[in-house]
């Protein structure tokens, strides 16, 4: 293995580079880009900066003989072709920065006496006889979707292969990196850009290693890629499967076919994981959930394990799925010694991943589906808001069974209801929780039908609702923490908001769920109408007749919590109620806010009685929506912990002007 220290200018001398199919795509995001840019800016002009290791593998002739677009530059100009085994993230970033430099200057400008054309010919592409045939100095192998994206969207070249703008998480990262550097470079003067160009081409030094032919490049890839941004298990698995595809004792055509299936499979997987640019899906989370249902029956001998032990081991499963795939299942020993793996079994596994990622994407992004019914989208939206973490493998198993729509809707609705009841209870010791990941394994294997699953979910719901001390437990639970500290408060208030929207003449959502659930420093998305620090007379006149403890209870009571259409500075919460209704300089008033805000905007005062009345209304909505029974107004008052509010007391002064607080929920 040869090694030496070289700058980018020396590295890009009579060489072309390709990122091989076993490599992941471009994984750097904002953090790594900022660090890279900072290193360049802070680098003193008379110093060099060690970037890291760049490990290369010479491309065999039988391989590059099939590179039609590159044969001329390899054979006629003696350019050496190399695969990048390690260091592609840093090298890709450097090339994107060089390309960005060529875009922020005009074609007539020069950088350090170097024209744009000369820069591109050195680092981006060379043209045969200055014609239309081009060989890209740096890029991906052609079957990688990032190949065309890099050429068309980063290098601004025209596709000659009917490219359909295929999207993956990696292409998003490429696009973001270019946008990042272009924006940074636009802020600089011509002289500053020239300094940047000198630094990145002359001052960034790579430690170059060239792997000799006697080293297994797939094993080298796994052991070397522990620097920079770590490889995900899904990325490591692709490399492992391609490596295993070369080890089967069969015809070359079979091995090559399997390799193509793996590459096509991963292309599809990353396409769907990154299809929603605003909400890319985590690759390892998908892999682990798929693994748990696809290989769960191998990991757990169900017939030999009692129920309690099964639950304990299922927790162990979720922590060690990646160990199973890379250390137990997809190993060379399982091909050469134990014969547990075949070309067919790997093919079927990859095809299952492909089928699963489509279902996975759409139940995480239901509004993007053209096949889901409105009801299905509604319930999946709810499940996404309440949190899919405990149910994702089960929902995946359900969708892979392709049930009829009526049964599917019933199952999803039961899961949402059960999830809400779990949230409401807030503690596990009281309920015999279903281990959904273990149920998903049984569904996938065929040991449980979807009809039986529906019955099981109904029994679990009935078990919870029929507990004679359920209401007493809830009263005790909320007495200590109030509703503000409840983990389900955002989901509940958002569902109530949507229920009011359903009765409104307008159909527009007034609360963005992402903003609502992610509260930023000094900004709130749930307002205490009666504030936490009520110092002004407009609050003290109605509340100071209550004890400090009672005022604290009122403050965190369900009826006092209001979902806001826009995050509001927390200091604005202390304003008088009448000032909160209309827009102020720095906030949206209740009159122009969410449906929940609109509902109380007709009041002119906010008193303890208003908090009680609104709390009762919200509890009745909860009962209707999730089929609960809180028995009576007195018991509801206990659940709100507001039994100290008495009828016909001076503090009960209530303004009913334009109020619709007593309107029954629909």
Each residue of 174-211: pLDDT tens digit? 999 999 999 999 999 999 999 999 999 999 999 998 87
Alpha-carbon gap, residue 140 to 565, rounded angstroms: 46
Among candidate residues 444, 468, 492, the one where a domain is terminated: 468
Same domain? 489 vs 445? no
Same domain? 44 vs 131? yes
Alpha-carbon gap, residue 169 to 192, rounded angstroms: 32
Same domain? 490 vs 435? no
Same domain? 296 vs 335? yes
Same domain? 428 vs 486? no
Among candidate residues 422, 453, 468, the one where a domain is terminated: 468
Residue 482 confidence (pLDDT) above 80 = yes
- The model's pLDDT over 597-644, given as tens digits with 9 standing for 90+, comes to 999 999 999 999 999 999 999 999 999 999 999 999 999 999 999 999
Same domain? 325 vs 445? yes
Phi first, then psi: give them for residue 17, nearest 5 degrees.
-125, 135
- Is 661 part of a structural domain of the chain? no
> pLDDT > 90: what percent of the chain?
64
- The model's pLDDT over 331-368, given as tens digits with 9 standing for 90+, comes to 999 998 877 899 999 999 999 999 999 999 999 999 99
β 110-111/114-115 pair status: antiparallel
What pLDDT, on a 0 to 100 scale, did the predictor assign at position 6?
94
DSSP string, 92-156: HHHHHHHHHHHHHS-TT-EETTEEHHHHHHHHTEEEGGGSS-EEESEEE-TTSHHHHHIIIIIS-
Alpha-carbon gap, residue 524 to 516, rounded angstroms: 9
Out of 260-264, 504-508, 635-639, least confident range: 504-508
Same domain? 523 vs 626? yes
Q: CB under 8 Å to 387, separation ≥6 — which residues? A: 419
- Is 591 part of a structural domain of the chain? yes
Answer yes or no: are the C-beta atoms of 589 and 601 closer than 8 Å.
Answer: yes
Residue 55 confidence (pLDDT) above 60 = yes
Report residue 446's pLDDT band, with 50, 70 and 90 as the boundaries: very high
Phi first, then psi: give them for residue 556, nearest 5 degrees.
-95, 10
What pLDDT, on a 0 to 100 scale, did the predictor assign at position 318?
52
Segment 102-122 shows an average pLDDT of 91
What pLDDT, on a 0 to 100 scale, did the predictor assign at position 322?
63
What pLDDT, on a 0 to 100 scale, did the predictor assign at position 294?
93
Q: Within 10 Å of residue 219's Cβ, how many Cβ atoms? A: 13
Q: CB under 8 Å to 501, separation ≥6 — which residues? A: 507, 509, 510, 595
Report residue 410's pLDDT band, with 50, 70 and 90 as the boundaries: very high
Same domain? 510 vs 527? yes
Same domain? 353 vs 487? no
Pull the structure tokens for residue 293.
Answer: 């249902």
Residue 438 confidence (pLDDT) above 50 = yes
Residue 106 confidence (pLDDT) above 80 = yes
- Count of domains forming the chain: 3
What pLDDT, on a 0 to 100 scale, did the predictor assign at position 661?
40
Alpha-carbon gap, residue 205 to 214, rounded angstroms: 27
Among candidate residues 446, 468, 490, the one where a domain is terminated: 468
Phi first, then psi: give them for residue 83, nearest 5 degrees.
-90, 145
Residue 164 confidence (pLDDT) above 70 = no
- Is 111 part of a structural domain of the chain? yes
- Is 238 part of a structural domain of the chain? no
Out of 274-278, 434-438, 554-558, 616-620, least confident range: 434-438
Question: DSSP code of 280?
Answer: P
β 204-211/49-58 pair status: parallel
Segment 109-129 shows an average pLDDT of 90
Report residue 499's pLDDT band, with 50, 70 and 90 as the boundaries: very high
Question: DSSP code of 528?
Answer: E
> pLDDT > 70: what percent of the chain?
88
Pull the structure tokens for residue 64.
Answer: 């590059």
Answer yes or no: are the C-beta atoms of 623 and 629 closer than 8 Å.
Answer: yes
Segment 163-179 shows an average pLDDT of 87
- Is 236 part of a structural domain of the chain? no
Answer yes or no: are the C-beta atoms of 201 and 98 closer than 8 Å.
Answer: yes
With vertex at residue 66, the alpha carbon angle to CA 222 and CA 150, rounded to the nearest 5 degrees, is: 60
Residue 484 confidence (pLDDT) above 60 = yes
3-state secondary structure of 78: coil
Q: Within 10 Å of residue 173's Cβ, how many Cβ atoms? A: 23
**310 is in which domain, residue-wise?**
269-468
Report residue 390's pLDDT band, with 50, 70 and 90 as the boundaries: confident
Segment 118-144 shows an average pLDDT of 86
> Distance between alpha carbon 334 and the CA centroid of its chain, in Å?
33
- The model's pLDDT over 546-582, given as tens digits with 9 standing for 90+, comes to 999 999 999 999 999 999 998 888 888 888 999 999 8
- Is 252 part of a structural domain of the chain? no
Answer yes or no: are the C-beta atoms of 75 and 178 closer than 8 Å.
Answer: no
Residue 284 confidence (pLDDT) above 70 = yes
Selected residue with higher pLDDT from 374 and 661? 374
Whole-number average pLDDT of the chain: 87
Q: Within 10 Å of residue 574's Cβ, how many Cβ atoms? A: 16
Same domain? 62 vs 89? yes
- The model's pLDDT over 26-51, given as tens digits with 9 standing for 90+, comes to 999 999 999 999 999 999 988 999 98
Answer yes or no: are the C-beta atoms of 489 and 544 closer than 8 Å.
Answer: no
Which stretches within 365-466 are classed as H helix?
A: 374-386, 392-400, 405-425, 436-445, 450-465
What pLDDT, on a 0 to 100 scale, did the predictor assign at position 41?
94
With vertex at residue 119, the alpha carbon angle to CA 114 and CA 124, rounded to the nearest 5 degrees, is: 180
3-state secondary structure of 626: helix
Counting beta carbons within 10 angstroms of the beta carbon of residue 42, is it exposed (0 to 12), middle (13 to 18) or buried (19 or more)?
exposed
Q: Which residue has the tokens 């593998």?
A: 57
Which segment, 155-164, 296-305, 388-397, is predicted with the most confidence on average? Answer: 388-397
Report residue 666's pLDDT band, with 50, 70 and 90 as the boundaries: very low
- Is 241 part of a structural domain of the chain? no
Alpha-carbon gap, residue 383 to 417, rounded angstroms: 9
Q: Within 10 Å of residue 626's Cβ, how many Cβ atoms? A: 17
Phi first, then psi: give them for residue 650, nearest 5 degrees.
-60, -30
- Is 258 part of a structural domain of the chain? no
Selected residue with higher pLDDT from 142 and 100? 100
Residue 10 confidence (pLDDT) above 70 = yes
- The model's pLDDT over 512-538, given as tens digits with 9 standing for 90+, comes to 999 999 878 778 899 999 998 888 999
Same domain? 303 vs 354? yes
Same domain? 567 vs 640? yes
């Amino acid at each position: 293995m040869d090694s030496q220290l070289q700058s980018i200018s020396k590295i890009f001398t009579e060489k072309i580079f390709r990122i091989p199919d076993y490599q992941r795509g471009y994984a750097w995001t904002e953090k790594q880009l900022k660090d890279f840019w900072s290193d360049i800016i802070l680098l003193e002009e008379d110093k060099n900066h060690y970037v890291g290791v760049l490990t290369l593998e010479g491309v065999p002739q039988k391989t590059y003989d099939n590179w039609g677009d590159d044969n001329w530059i390899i054979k006629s100009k003696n350019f050496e072709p190399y695969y990048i085994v390690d260091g592609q993230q840093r090298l890709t970033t450097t090339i994107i920065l060089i390309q960005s430099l060529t875009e922020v200057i005009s074609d007539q400008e020069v950088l350090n006496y170097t024209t744009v054309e000369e820069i591109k010919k050195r680092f981006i592409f060379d043209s045969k006889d200055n014609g239309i045939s081009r060989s890209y100095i740096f890029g991906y192998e052609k079957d990688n979707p990032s190949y065309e994206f890099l050429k068309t969207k980063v290098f601004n070249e025209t596709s000659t292969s009917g490219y359909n703008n295929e999207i993956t998480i990696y292409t998003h990262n490429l696009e973001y990196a270019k946008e990042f550097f272009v924006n940074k470079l636009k802020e600089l003067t011509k002289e500053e850009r020239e300094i940047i160009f000198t630094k990145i081409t002359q001052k960034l030094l790579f430690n170059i290693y060239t792997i000799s032919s006697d080293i297994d490049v797939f094993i080298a890839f796994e052991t070397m890629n522990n620097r920079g941004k770590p490889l995900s298990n899904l990325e490591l698995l692709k490399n492992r499967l391609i490596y295993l595809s070369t080890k089967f004792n069969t015809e070359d055509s079979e091995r090559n076919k399997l390799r193509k299936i793996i590459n096509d499979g991963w292309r599809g997987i990353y396409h769907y994981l990154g299809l929603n640019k605003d909400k890319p899906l985590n690759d390892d989370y998908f892999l682990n959930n798929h693994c748990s249902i696809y290989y769960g029956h191998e990991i757990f001998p169900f017939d030999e394990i009692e129920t309690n032990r099964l639950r304990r081991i299922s927790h162990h499963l979720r922590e060690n799925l990646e160990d199973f795939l890379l250390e137990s299942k997809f190993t060379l020993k399982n091909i050469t010694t134990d014969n547990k793996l075949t070309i067919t079994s790997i093919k079927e596994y990859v095809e299952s991943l492909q089928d699963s990622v489509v279902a996975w994407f759409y139940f995480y992004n239901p509004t993007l589906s053209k096949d889901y019914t409105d009801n299905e989208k509604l319930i999946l939206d709810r499940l996404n808001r309440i949190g899919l973490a405990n149910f994702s493998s089960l929902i995946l198993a359900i969708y892979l069974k392709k049930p009829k729509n009526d049964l599917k809707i019933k199952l999803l609705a039961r899961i949402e209801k059960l999830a809400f009841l779990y949230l409401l209870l807030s503690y596990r010791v009281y309920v015999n929780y279903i281990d959904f990941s273990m149920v998903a394994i049984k569904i996938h294997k065929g040991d449980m039908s979807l009809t039986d699953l529906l019955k099981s979910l109904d029994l679990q719901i009935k078990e919870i609702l029929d507990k004679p001390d359920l209401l007493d437990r809830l009263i005790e639970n909320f007495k200590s923490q109030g509703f503000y500290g409840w983990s389900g408060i955002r989901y509940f208030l958002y569902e109530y908001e949507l229920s009011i929207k359903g009765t409104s003449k307008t159909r527009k959502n007034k609360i963005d769920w992402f903003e609502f659930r992610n509260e930023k420093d000094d900004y709130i998305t749930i307002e205490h109408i009666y504030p936490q620090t009520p110092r002004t007379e407009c609050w003290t006149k109605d509340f100071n007749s209550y004890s400090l403890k009672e005022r604290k209870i009122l403050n965190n009571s369900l009826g006092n919590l209001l979902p806001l259409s826009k995050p509001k500075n927390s200091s604005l919460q202390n304003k008088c109620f009448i000032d909160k209704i209309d827009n102020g300089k720095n906030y949206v008033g209740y009159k122009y806010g969410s449906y929940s805000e609109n509902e109380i905007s007709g009041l002119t005062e906010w008193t303890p009685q208003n908090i009680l009345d609104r709390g009762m209304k919200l509890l009745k909505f909860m009962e209707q929506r999730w089929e609960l029974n809180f028995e009576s107004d007195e018991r509801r008052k206990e659940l709100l912990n507001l039994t100290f509010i008495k009828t016909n007391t001076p503090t009960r002064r209530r303004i009913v002007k334009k109020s619709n607080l007593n309107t029954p929920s629909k």
